[in-house]
Structure 1
Amino acid sequence: MSLKDMQKDVHTWISQFEEGYWHPLSMLARLTEEVGELAREVNHLYGQKPKKEEEPEGNLELELADILFIIGCFANSMDIDLDKAFDKMMEKYRQRDSNRWTRIDPENND
């Protein structure tokens, strides 16, 4: 699924409801909440804070998908094409950071 398709799916879902998209500040708060939930799961799995026995098992992929959903909402509400934005961002990284780290030698990468 492309980002454009994801944005269409999000829009189809949101369009069912009279409330529509939230205001940008509310969406930013929601994004922050979702990133916090992801951080909590990562900390439980890889950090030094194990879950309590009574806490339900988390799911990293669903936490990441929740973040994608709210990003889709945010972009749609501001008429941002995430495919184009992503392409621009990757070009920025390709130019700015192309020599920043040690490249893997393709001949030695089996």
Structure 2
Amino acid sequence: MNYTTEEIQKRVDDYISQFKEGYFSPLSLQARLTEEVGEMAREINHRYGEKPKKNTEQDKALQEELGDVLFVLTCFANSLDMDLSDAFEQSMNKIETRDKNRWTRKNGGNNDE
């Protein structure tokens, strides 16, 4: 299934809105995001790095960890009343301007274009 960022934000909000506690504070969400990114990093290290899993460790899918990061980022955006599409657009505009000549283009074109 494919979701727009608007649909992702609404689905997360519909879920969180069921509970009296609501969204965590920004500081708690930052801690949770750090935790989830750490779990994703651990999976990447096991899969692509030099640290294999112990026999007793459960295999967690990297995609699941990435989904957890997306969920917490969405909670963060929702709790601060921010639109993920707007945040993405701002980021891409910055990157496309700042880094437009930074990398070698596949089409063989000049980076000075």
Q: How does 1:1-110 map to 2 (within 5 A)?
A: 1-105=3-107
**Identical columns (%):** 55
Q: CA deviation at 1:106?
A: 6.8
Deviation for aligned residue 1:58: 1.4
SS in 2 for 1:9: helix
**Stretches of structure 2 lacking an aligned partner (at least 5 in a row):** none
- What do residues 24-72 of structure 1 show as CA deviations (whole Å, max 9, x unaligned)? 0000000000000000000111111100111111100010000000000
- Alpha-carbon distance, 1:3 to partner: 1.1
Query: Which protein has the bigger helix share?
Result: 1
Structure 2: which amino acid aligns with 1:60? L
The one-letter amino acid of 2:94's match is K
Higher relative contact order (CA 8 A, sep 6+): 1
Give the whole-Å Cα distance in 2 for the aligned partners of 1:91 and 1:60: 28
TM-score calculated relative to the size of structure 1 = 0.94
Find the aligned partners of 1:22 and 1:64 in 2 and give their Cα distance. Answer: 20
CA shift, 1:23, in A, is 0.5
Question: Moved runs in structure 1, 4+ residues, more than 2 A?
Answer: none
Computed over aligned residues only, the root mean square deviation of the Cα atoms, in angstroms, reads 1.2
**Inter-partner Cα distance in structure 2 for 1:97 and 1:80:** 25
Aligned length: 107
